[in-house]
């Protein structure tokens, strides 16, 4: 939020990705009031936990992916084709939605977090990326 400045500049600089605003000895410049809405739009609030509806939709997405993999495997078997390595690998490595712990369904591993876990909804594009497997012990 703050950018280190020289004492000769007379104050701290507020750093924004597109602009740099100066605040000198408690006075607010015209730039600050003009970009006030920019600051609030930039930092939208994200709730710290998922709602029950978000959890429901997350479980539904996980089950939908499981159904797609099952359908592909059944179609290959029905047509007498050999099993594809990707499907075999999915069954070997990825747990099904019923087998997953709630901790794994709704949060992901993040090495930068204090507890090494963060809510899955804080991940960009969390509805598109598979996050079923975490490092051992986390």
What is the C-alpha separation between 26 and 14, in angstroms, rounded? 13
Domain that holds residue 23: 2-42
When the pLDDT of each residue in the chain is averaged and rounded to a whole number, the result is 80
Note whether 105 and 49 are within 8 A (CB): no
Residues 82 and 33 in one domain: no
Residues 59 and 9 in one domain: no
Inside any domain, residue 134 = no
What does 25-58 look like in DSSP terms, one character per residue?
TTBPPHHHHHTHHHHHHHS----SS--HHHHHHH
- What is the per-residue pLDDT across 54-105, written as a single tens digit (0 to 9) for each? 999 999 999 999 999 999 999 999 999 998 999 999 999 999 999 999 999 9
**Look-up: residue for tokens 């990326």?**
129
Inside any domain, residue 47 = no
Residues 57 and 114 in one domain: yes
């Amino acid at each position: 939020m703050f950018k280190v400045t020289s004492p000769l500049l007379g104050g701290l600089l507020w750093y924004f990705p597109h602009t740099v605003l100066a605040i000198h000895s408690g006075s607010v410049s015209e730039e600050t009031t003009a970009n006030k809405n920019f600051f609030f739009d930039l930092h939208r609030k994200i709730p710290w936990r998922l709602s029950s509806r978000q959890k429901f939709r997350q479980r539904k997405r996980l089950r939908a992916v499981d159904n797609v993999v099952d359908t592909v495997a059944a179609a290959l078997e029905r047509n007498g084709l050999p099993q594809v390595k990707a499907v075999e690998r999915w069954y070997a490595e990825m747990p099904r939605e019923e087998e997953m712990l709630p901790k794994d369904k709704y949060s992901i591993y993040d090495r930068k977090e204090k507890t090494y876990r963060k809510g899955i909804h804080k991940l960009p594009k969390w509805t598109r990326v598979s996050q079923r497997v975490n490092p051992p012990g986390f």
